[in-house]
Every structure is written in structure tokens, then in C-alpha cells.
Amino acid sequence: MLLVLAGPLRSAAQEMLLPLGYNQQLMHQQPKGGTREIGESRDTLCLPFFDDFSNLNAFHDSINLLCPDTVYNADPSAVYPNQLFWQDSLAFINNTYPIFPPTYGVATLDGLRANGRPHNELISYGPADTLTSRPFYLGGTLTDTVYLSFYYQPGGFGDFPESDDSLVLEFLHIDGTWDRAWFTRNTAGAFNQPFKIVMVPVADDGYLYDGFQFRFRNRANPKGNNDHWHIDYVYMDEDRTSTDTLFRDVSFTSAPTSILKRYRQMPWSQFKNHQAEELADNHFIQIKNNFNTIVNTSYRYEAFESLTGTNITGPTAPISINFDPFSTAVNSYETFEIPATTPGYDEDSMLVTLEYTLDPAGDIQRLNDTLRYEQAFYNYYAYDDGTAEKAYALNGTGSQLAIRFLANEPDTLKEVYIHWSYIDGNKSTLFFSLVVWSDIDTTGLSDAQTVIYQADFLTPKYVDSVNGFYVYQLTDFLGNPTPVVVDGYFYVGWLQTQADFLNVGFDVNTIANQHVFYNTGGNWQRSDINGAIMIRPQVGGDYSVYTELPEMATASAVSIYPNPAQQRLFVQGLSSNQCNISIFDMSGRLVAAPVMGGDYGFDVAELTPGIYIARIDDSTSGISHKLQFVKSQ
């Protein structure tokens, strides 16, 4: 009910879904650590060990007098493994790639380094990620009853491993060598598979020492975000057997659905006076009984304003269910309006925290019984959940994409955020037009449209400007801000001027294609691919703070002459001649890259007569100028 099954990579000839090459979420993250407080100057973890990647603040506390060990991660990362349990940061912690995991959150091994870039762009197969535990104390009175168990799933909503890709578990022997303890390959192809549990004995005398470690590794295509393996519920303890595969644990398995009817996020100014229209009747969250008997479970939630902690609703009265063994359930919660007495109500934004709590009878793991989710009301609309599992592309020169939004009251559209996905080469030399429409024909009967803004000769940018999204400010041809008034339905998207795929991020966990329309040379059509395209319009409020100037013509006096030109073009208004020149035809195709001479001129004699765009990248100022000229006979 909460998750949609991953569909094929292609849906019709016009729309396409493609696997990702980079992980934009990781490209500007830094691994975090924490502080270990170890009794008796020891530096190894004790048993039992448990991490299901659901609670990055998780603590580890042992009452074993021979090994007092208390660990608390006060500064967790949202995307890297808990550094108090794991000593590397290559695995990606997330809850959007797996399908029906045992608990909320998994560690995903793929073909990317910790910064989201490929491990190796020169080979198609080889070693990729590693998830290595901290050292353990397995000496003393421990016997051969130590077992390590975990769940795994290939692919999920991500990329399925090929038949020669593998997931490997290795143990560190006392002699310093790593032994392969277990491995698997994906033999089912690109088909969804449930999570499977693995039980591995830690029985060899060479492992029962102070300093033992284990690690997961994968062999994959290291060129990008490929060949996913998802790991969950890693548990190691003594006094276990090979049949110890049942856990009396009821847990959350996914993020809650949005309390909003249409969006994941929307502007506070467009929501607070229209709550009845914008709120969903209910929101939902999925839970799972991982045990083989009925477990009586109660659930509740509360919501509060995040900055002050002021209660908005709840805690609600607990609702109890008799939870059938090995089953999943979808808990339903009524939504709520945010009263005008809430602190910050009259400000330009609002952040609400929802806290969901489970109380299963006899539960052995309480760390995954509390889940917090932040509902943001800033100054932009978002259908997506912020994480791309695929990339969306349109096929064909002149193709148009339009995503529908609703302004409940008149507002000014100032910026558009786009999450570009780097999957099959850099697209930053391709042009597209950013377009805003007040109306298109959504009936599928015509190509009728009303354009209220269009900016040409923009390029995809792979810059982490706002949470992985690049910010395009609505400007005129001189680069001056040109906000557009929107009222009622409006549409934001692009016109592509070449056949190459532009590849924008695609969230498969949120179904919003009922608001997506495309035109590849005929009438406007509604998208057939379930998901949400990661384009976010920003209305009202201040302009974003730029980490990089957009590639727009600036208001300086830079110009070119003679125009039309026959043999050579000259540039005036530059601070120096240290520039890179790129010449594009009107379809956006790069046709020449001449070198500027000391006379501030460059040759155009070999160009076919016609209209062209010269992009001049000034190395001194860092500004890019786009100037149109005519090549004469």
C-alpha cells in the first residue's frame, strides 16, 4: 500500500527511466563519527551486537563485567553507517531503495565511493563497497556458539546486480588474513525478491580473539550507482544455533506517507490558510511482525512544532492490534490542522515533527519502535521525497515536460530547483529551455499551451546547491530577476533542443505522475510512469543563496562584432582574453570550439551560414556569456 513495485526501465518510446550513475545525496556529505566511552581502557565492542540501521543514535550497552562497554553516537550522519559500530563510510544508509525490509533503514552496497562518485570509471567489473565492523572482544569464556546473522536483498527499487556480481561476508582471522565466510550472487535477474536471512557460525578458534572483525563486500560495476545489495538486521551473539532465525520484533519498515493530499512539501504561505483543501484525510505507515506468533501491538503518534517543541496534536490514544505472524500492516492516522496559536505561525515557514511509537508485547528490540519524520513547509513545492532511485528522460528533439502545481492564492514564482542525475556522461554542454505555463491541454486532445516564461540556452548543472538540487533563478536575458505571477494551476518544466537525454532525478517511492505531462511532437499526454520527477518550483520568500552563478548572460557590456560575421568575430568588454569559446547551433549542438587570440578575436570562417550561439566562459571573472550571431556567406 505504501510502496510501488519497481517497473521496467522503459515505458513507451517517449518516456524512459534509467539507472543512476552518481548518488547526488552523497556528493557533498562528510562522514561523521562519535565519541566512545569504553570502560577499563578497552577498545573493542562486546556481544551482543545489533544494528538494523533504523536508529543512527543507537547505543550499545553490555553488562558483561569482563567487558563494560557503553557507546552513544551523539553526532550521527543521515547517510553513513554509525561510526561507533562500523569503521568505513562506503555503504549508503537509506530507506528508499529496499522493498519491504525487516526494519526501517538498510545499508546499501553499490558502485560508488563515500562521496557519491564512481569507484572506478575505467573498468566495468571489480571490487566496490565495503562495510567493516569495529573490532570485537570474542575471547575469554566464549565458545563456538557465536553466530552472525543478517538479512539481504538484491536490487529492490535500485539497480539489480548482474549474474557475475556478488555479495561477500569475510571474517578477520587472528593471523591478520581475511577469510571468506559466505557469499551469494543474484540468480533471479531483474525481478523483485524478498529479504533473506543468513546464519553464519563464528566457530573457528582463529576468530575467537580480542580484535575480531567482519566485513561485507560487493563486486560490481564500479562505474556508477550500480548493482545494489541491501543489508539489514545485522545481529551477532553467543549461545545461538543455526536455527536461531526468529526475532520477537515488531518494527517500522518505511517512512510515513505525507500528511498532504498532493505534495511531500509545499510553501507555508500556500498551506496555512488552505489546510482543509491541502491535508489528506489520513496518513499511513507500514509495520512488520518479524516473529512466528501473534504479537499484541499498540501504536500512537504525536506532532509538535520542531523549534520550540510545542505540541500540535497528541499523543494520540494507543490503538491495539493482534498482529499476525510474519505479516505486515498499515497503520492509519488521522491528519490534523496546525492552529494559529502555534509558535511561528505568522512566519514564512514552519517545520513540524511527527513522532510515531510502537509498543509490542515482549519486543526484544526497542530501538526500531520509534520513528521521527519532519514535515517541512518552506517556500517550494515538492512531489518527491528528496532521494532519486532512477533517472527520468524524454526522447526526441523538441520534447516538452510539464509538471502541474497549484497556487491557492496569487504568488510570485522566483526559482526552479532541478535534481540532475549524472548517469551516461556529462550533459552540461547540452541546452534546454526552462518553461513556465499558465495552461496546457491535459485532455490529450491537442498541443495547446500558454507560455508565461521561457529562458533559453540553459544547461544541466551537477552542483549541490539546495539539497542536491541546482537552483535556476527566473531572469531576463540580462540576468535580472524576473519573477512570474502564478495563480491557480501552473506548470513548470522544460523544452529540450536536442535528442540527447537530459536525465532528471526520479523518486519511485512517491506516485505523482498524475501531475506530469509530456509532448514529444503531438498532443500533450499524461505520464505513464509511476513516481515523482524531482523538479521543485519556489514561490515567494527570498532568493536562494548561490554557490555558483547561473549560466545566464550578464548585464556587463560584453558584445561581439561584426554581426553578421564572415571570417572572424571579435569580443569587447572582457577583462582579459583568457576565455574558452564554444559555438552551438540553434538545436543546441556543439559545432566548434575556436581559440581566442590576443586580438580578442576567433575564427568562424568554417561555419555553415546560419544563426549560432557563442558561449564565452571568462576564466578571470568566472562568468559565462551567451551571445547570438549570424554567420554570413
pLDDT in tens, 385-438: 988 888 899 988 889 999 999 999 999 999 999 998 766 556 777 889 999 999
pLDDT of residue 490: 98
| Residues pairing with 149 in the sheet | 199, 235
pLDDT of residue 423: 64
Q: What is the mean pLDDT of residues 185-207?
A: 93
| Domain match, 166 and 42 both | yes
| Domain match, 411 and 340 both | no
* Domain end (from 377, 398, 425): 377
pLDDT of residue 541 exceeding 60: yes
| Domain match, 238 and 260 both | no
pLDDT band at 585 (very low <50, low <70, confident <90, very high): confident
Indicate the helix (H) or strand (E) that contains 268.
helix 268-271
pLDDT of residue 388: 84
Q: What is the mean pLDDT of residues 458-485?
A: 78
| Domain match, 145 and 286 both | no
* Domain end (from 198, 222, 245): 245
pLDDT band at 26 (very low <50, low <70, confident <90, very high): low
CATH number at residue 613: 2.60.40.3080
pLDDT of residue 33: 41
Determine the Cα–Cα distance for residues 287 and 566; give it in Å rounded to an integer: 71
| Domain match, 462 and 421 both | yes
Quick check: is 548 in a domain? no
Nearest by Cα to 143 from 195, 97, 91, 207 = 207
**Higher-confidence residue: 397 or 117?**
397
pLDDT of residue 465 exceeding 80: no
| Domain match, 66 and 114 both | yes
CATH number at residue 322: 2.60.40
pLDDT of residue 487: 96
**Higher-confidence residue: 632 or 446?**
446
CATH number at residue 411: 2.60.120
**Grid cell in block for residue 603:** 575564427
- Asked whether the beta carbons of 289 and 246 are under 8 A apart, the reply is no
pLDDT of residue 450: 96
- Asked whether the beta carbons of 88 and 130 are under 8 A apart, the reply is yes
pLDDT of residue 472 exceeding 60: yes
pLDDT of residue 63 exceeding 70: no
| Domain match, 220 and 130 both | yes
Quick check: is 280 in a domain? yes
Q: What is the mean pLDDT of residues 76-102?
A: 88
What pLDDT, in 10s, does the model give residues 325-335? 999 999 999 99
Share of the chain above pLDDT 70, in %: 85
| Domain match, 257 and 240 both | no
Q: What is the mean pLDDT of residues 586-610?
A: 83
pLDDT of residue 141: 64
**Grid cell in block for residue 385:** 521525497
pLDDT band at 5 (very low <50, low <70, confident <90, very high): very low
Determine the Cα–Cα distance for residues 145 and 133; give it in Å rounded to an integer: 20
| Average pLDDT of the chain to the nearest whole number | 85
Q: What is the mean pLDDT of residues 288-315?
A: 93
Quick check: is 383 in a domain? no
pLDDT of residue 416: 96
pLDDT of residue 512: 96
pLDDT band at 625 (very low <50, low <70, confident <90, very high): confident
Determine the Cα–Cα distance for residues 551 and 617; give it in Å rounded to an integer: 9
- What one-character DSSP code corresponds to residue 167? E
| Domain match, 96 and 222 both | yes
pLDDT of residue 226 exceeding 60: yes
pTM exceeds 0.85: no
Q: What is the mean pLDDT of residues 358-383?
A: 90
| Domain match, 328 and 439 both | no
Q: What is the mean pLDDT of residues 34-57?
A: 66
**Grid cell in block for residue 268:** 507555508
CATH number at residue 40: 2.60.120.260
| Domain match, 88 and 208 both | yes
Quick check: is 301 in a domain? yes
**Higher-confidence residue: 260 or 141?**
260
Determine if the peptide bond prior to 48 is cis (ω within 30°). Answer: yes
Quick check: is 182 in a domain? yes
Non-local CB neighbours of 369 within 8 Å, separated by 6+ positions: 250, 251, 252, 357, 358, 359, 360, 363
pLDDT of residue 553 exceeding 50: no
Quick check: is 282 in a domain? yes
pLDDT of residue 531: 95
Q: What is the mean pLDDT of residues 45-63?
A: 73
pLDDT of residue 56 exceeding 70: no
Quick check: is 29 in a domain? no
Q: What is the mean pLDDT of residues 595-618?
A: 85
Q: Which of 23-32, 142-151, 463-472, 573-582 has the lowest mean pLDDT?
A: 23-32
pLDDT of residue 34: 38
| Domain match, 256 and 241 both | no
Quick check: is 7 in a domain? no
Number of separate domains in the chain: 4
Q: What's CA 237's distance to the chain center, in Å?
A: 34
Share of the chain above pLDDT 90, in %: 54
pLDDT of residue 339: 96
Domain enclosing residue 580, as ranges: 559-631
* Domain end (from 539, 569, 591): 539
Q: Which of 17-31, 195-209, 529-543 has the lowest mean pLDDT?
A: 17-31
pLDDT of residue 429: 77
